[in-house]
Amino acid sequence: MKVAMIYDFGVNRGGGDFVMLNILKALNDVGCKFTLITSTPSGLEEALELFDFDDRFSEVNIKYVEVPRFLKHPYSIAYMAKRVKNEGYDLYVFSDDVPKCMRDGKVVCYVHYPHIARIKHPEFVAERYKKSIKGKAMFFLHKCLFPRFFEYKSIPDGWLLLVNSSLTYTHVSDLLNTDRIILLYPPVDTKRIVSQSKGSQKEDLVIAIGRFEPERKYEDLIYALKKVKAKFKALIIGHSYDNDYVKRLKKVIRDIDLIGKVKLVFDANRSYILNNLAKAKAIVHTAIREPFGIAIVEGMAAGCIPVIRQGFNGPWIDITQSGKYGVGFKSPDELVSIIEDILRNYEEYKVKYDMVNRALYFDASNFRVRFLNILKTHGSLNFEYALR
């Protein structure tokens, strides 16, 4: 079976790349003739190195498509799809959004949170597109162009959408008016994290992970930490996505005298992140809106107690199952007492929430098995493979 993945590794470095690596791995392992169609030919190798991906692929053909420089993601994907749609592939794999030109093809798309949902749910749009004239103009243009190139009302019979969370499922199902959606939680490298974390000594360390943008609400954590009386150190690790927000956080840390206690870390490598997760007692997620939250599962695998803002979001509903495997909070004031108690009584929390076993449910190997089973049982895709 000839399969094409139309995807640019390295454009948005993060969990999306890890998902696509595991889809590629799953299909490669069962003998599919696989082609990666991309405008970033070095991106695959960079992603493999970033995630320290041990399981290399035996047969992956990379087809480079040169995309005009003015075309940015996701329009670069639509451009590549149009170029290769008649090349005889049996199945196409996409991430988040599928171009209209693929209406007659067999398509599987893994959806984190698609552009059409952000257009229809402006509360999920990054602040950078709301607070400046340039940002507003860019997003207005995006709203006008997107429906011309990508499906936004319904999906053809030959398409199947796999979504990462309950929130994404609800929004995508409503917007695309379809029930051809299956909830498939994203892969996380939990077995390896559990193995690497064994024997690590826990410290009075609190950690938060995610790119620096106002939607993360890191200031709520910082203000809460100011009131924590127990001894602690805190790391907030992420990509410096919004420089104005970074400046604001640095000012808050300076103004409330937390220099030396709270450290902002930018673009850290995997080994730094995993080493500190192994030491931390709590991983705190302050964002109000989050479709899933892979970093939370990574923290749980490393033995961190997840402290999650309650609400209709992936970390609270899908990962901790509304408090079964973690602690919820609604306000920064609640966060103060929760952090203090975890730092003092970590072992009791560890036994109560059993977060390591919960994290193992999301392991990448389980994801690959579930992914292949979905393809095999979904008749409209005509997916066939023979195990080696």
Q: What is the pLDDT confidence band of residue 55, given thresholds at 50, 70 and 90?
A: low
Q: How far apart are CA 39 and CA 247, in angstroms?
A: 34
Long-range contacts of 45-51 (CB under 8 A, 24+ apart): 46/9, 46/10, 47/9, 47/10, 47/13, 47/17, 47/18, 47/20, 47/21, 48/21, 50/13, 50/17, 50/270, 51/17, 51/18, 51/21, 51/189, 51/270
Residues contacting residue 246 through CB under 8 Å, at least 6 positions apart = 212, 240, 264, 266
Q: Is 32 in contact with 368 (CB distance < 8 Å)?
A: no
What percentage of the chain's residues is helix, strand, coil (to nearest 5)?
45, 15, 35
Average pLDDT for 106-126: 87
State pLDDT tens for residues 283-328. Answer: 999 998 899 999 999 999 999 999 999 999 999 999 999 999 999 9
Q: How far apart are CA 253 and CA 258, in angstroms?
A: 5
Q: Which two tokens stand for residue 34?
A: 């696989």
Domains of the chain: 2-187+363-381 (3.40.50.2000), 190-360 (3.40.50.2000)
Structure confidence at residue 121 (pLDDT): 84
Q: What is the pLDDT confidence band of residue 180, given thresholds at 50, 70 and 90?
A: confident
Structure confidence at residue 385 (pLDDT): 59
Range in 64-68, 191-195, 384-388 the model is least confident about: 384-388
Structure confidence at residue 388 (pLDDT): 41
Q: Please report, rounded to a whole number, the percentage of residues in the chain having pLDDT higher than 90.
A: 69
- The H-assigned helical ranges of the chain are 15-29, 43-50, 75-84, 115-120, 133-149, 166-176, 190-197, 218-227, 243-255, 270-279, 294-301, 314, 332-344, 346-353, 355-360, 364-377
Q: What average pLDDT does the structure give for the chain?
A: 91
Average pLDDT for 73-97: 94
Highest averaged pLDDT of the listed ranges 58-67, 157-166, 301-310: 301-310
Q: How far apart are CA 64 and CA 318, in angstroms?
A: 37
Q: Is 8 in contact with 38 (CB distance < 8 Å)?
A: yes
Q: How far apart are CA 163 and CA 169, in angstroms?
A: 6
State pLDDT tens for residues 207-227. Answer: 999 989 999 999 999 999 999
Reported pTM:
0.91
Structure confidence at residue 387 (pLDDT): 43
- The helix/strand/coil state of 253 is helix
Q: What is the pLDDT confidence band of residue 349, given thresholds at 50, 70 and 90?
A: very high
